[in-house]
């Protein structure tokens, strides 16, 4: 605060006045922006649930569009780079009652990340386990490898790309799964009859590919101690994979195959969460540098001459 000063005004006498800097004052009604008419709490909640939605609610369309595109672009870009196994929360059990710091940062994105809490509960149920027989037939695209297995070795016979059809029969004393693969092996057409040895990864898990392994039917000219196996994956439904906790083996595989790009995918989702925190603050508090309506306050009325100390004139003269 600056010291008091004296000034003469209208020849009446000396008046005491205190000078101040510029102070923000509420804008007049004719200068209010459209977003100032909106409820800031509603804007903040909407901005958290969906990036940019709070700004759309306030009528700040351009800024809302920037937040929507940039934040969700970084979030889903990271998900795509990490093959869908980036944002998840491990099941919270009695021996593990905590939320990971990584997910806490990612949760700033709002609804797209909070789905992970629901998926965590879905994945931690007795029904979600690896399957060794089918309750319903499968017909899906398949990519993987044809392996020749023996007592001491597993050899890759070729890369498979095609379509697989499987069905479990329960007519006998034990269920039996059979099927067929149509497609190519190393680019050459091939058809394989499949029988037994089915192992299908659990239905609800991170990653948009579901691991599948199946034995090829034994042929007469095949060595008795050898077996042929197809090992690969079929697509997992989006809702069963989105933000679901992945198997540890899948995370290890992604680290091995993607390397630093998997860490970069996690970084993208974290950046998206942190950016949305700033967007929420902007929706609640408005632009960081004000609205441009700052005005100097009106001068304080000076005291009457009778209120001025006797020595004020002497001080002013000096």
pLDDT range class, residue 306, cuts 50, 70, 90: low
- Over residues 251-271, the pLDDT tens digits come to 999 999 999 999 999 999 999
pLDDT at 82: 93
Q: Where are the alpha helices (DSSP H) in 99-151?
A: 101-106, 111-123
Domains of the chain: 5-23+296-317 (no CATH), 24-124+246-295 (no CATH), 138-238 (2.30.29)
Residues constituting the chain: 318
Q: Are strands 138-149 and 13-17 parallel, antiparallel or unpaired?
A: unpaired
d(C-alpha 135, C-alpha 141), whole Å? 19
Q: What is the pTM of this model?
A: 0.71
pLDDT at 174: 82
Q: Where are the alpha helices (DSSP H) in the chain?
A: 40-49, 53-58, 61-81, 101-106, 111-123, 238-241, 248-258, 260-285, 312-317
Mean pLDDT of the chain: 81
Distances (CA, A) of 94 to 98, 118, 123: 10, 17, 16
d(C-alpha 38, C-alpha 60), whole Å? 11
pLDDT at 179: 93
- Tokens 């939605």 map to which residue? 53
């Amino acid at each position: 605060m600056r010291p008091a000063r004296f000034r003469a005004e209208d020849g009446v006498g000396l008046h005491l006045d205190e000078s101040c800097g510029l102070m923000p004052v509420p804008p007049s009604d004719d200068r209010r922006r459209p977003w100032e008419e909106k409820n800031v709490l509603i804007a903040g909640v909407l901005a958290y649930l969906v990036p940019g939605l709070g700004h759309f609610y306030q009528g700040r369309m351009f800024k809302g569009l920037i937040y929507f595109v940039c934040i969700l672009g970084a979030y889903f870009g990271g998900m795509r780079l990490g093959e869908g196994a980036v944002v998840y929360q491990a099941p919270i059990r009695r021996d593990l009652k905590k939320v990971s710091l990584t997910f806490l940062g990612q949760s700033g994105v709002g609804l797209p990340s909070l789905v992970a809490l629901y998926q965590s509960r879905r994945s931690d149920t007795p029904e979600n386990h690896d399957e060794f027989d089918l309750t319903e037939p499968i017909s899906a695209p398949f990519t993987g490898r044809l392996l020749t297995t023996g007592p001491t070795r597993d050899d890759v016979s070729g890369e498979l790309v095609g379509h697989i059809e499987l069905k479990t029969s329960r007519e006998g004393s034990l269920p039996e799964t059979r099927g067929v693969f149509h497609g190519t092996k190393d680019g050459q057409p091939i058809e394989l009859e499949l029988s037994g040895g089915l192992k299908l990864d659990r239905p609800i898990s991170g990653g948009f590919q579901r691991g599948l392994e199946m034995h090829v039917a034994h042929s007469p000219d095949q060595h008795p101690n050898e077996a042929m196996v197809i090992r690969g994956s079929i697509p997992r439904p989006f809702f069963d994979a989105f933000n679901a906790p992945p198997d540890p083996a899948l995370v290890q595989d992604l680290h091995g195959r993607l390397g630093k790009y998997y860490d970069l995918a996690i970084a993208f989702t974290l950046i998206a969460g942190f950016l949305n925190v700033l967007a929420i603050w902007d929706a609640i508090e408005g632009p960081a540098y004000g609205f441009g309506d700052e005005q100097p306050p009106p001068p304080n009325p000076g005291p009457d001459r009778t209120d001025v100390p006797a020595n004020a004139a002497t001080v002013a003269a000096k």
